[in-house]
Amino acid sequence: MAKAKIEGTVSINNRQARYEYHIMDTYIAGIVLRGTEIKSIRQSKVQITDAFCQFKDDGLYVINLHISAYEQASFYQHAPRSDRKLLLKKVELRKLEKATEEKGNTLIPLKLFINDRGLCKIEIAVAKGKKLHDKRDDIKERDIKREMSRDLA
């Protein structure tokens, strides 16, 4: 008997991250969810722009990820801004910990999505903050590409 295909793929992107940071390396991690959080994610009621990742005593956590309360739930609701543990292999955790020890590097979530098996995954990146002139250069490059595409069309 064939499995039912997951209806409607969910993909929440952190568009501001690519503007604010130089992305150096990316990883895909599982995320530990409680209660009704997965139902809210499937409705795309997630805000990822203010989130960041941090190491605590027993692993890597995503902090400030806002998952709205599920409206159809009864009295058992999840906390919208709780810390959520990320699931990675030990080798990957060691690499990420070394990368964050370097000055200026940080871990930020880029994308929250549900894979083809119905599991919630988060794409995190080792990133370094951009300076103001770097942001201006990116805007200038984007405008030049836009003008060139208009001229060709």
Kindly report, residue by residue over 83-92, the tens digit of the pLDDT: 899 999 999 9
Q: Is residue 45's pLDDT more than 80?
A: yes
CB-CB contact of 16 with 108 (8 Å): no
User: CA-to-CA distance for 24 and 126, rounded, in angstroms?
Assistant: 6
Q: How far is CA 59 from CA 16, 39, 89, 93, 99, in A?
A: 26, 25, 11, 8, 15
CA dihedral 16, 19, 23, 27 (to 10 degrees): 20
Tell the residue number behind the tokens 């060691």, with chain if given.
94
Displacement of CA 76 from its chain's centroid (Å): 26
- Quote the pLDDT of residue 8: 55
**What letter would DSSP give residue 26?**
E
- Does the pTM surpass 0.85? The reply is no
Query: Could you tell me which CATH number the domain at 11-152 has?
Result: 2.40.280.10
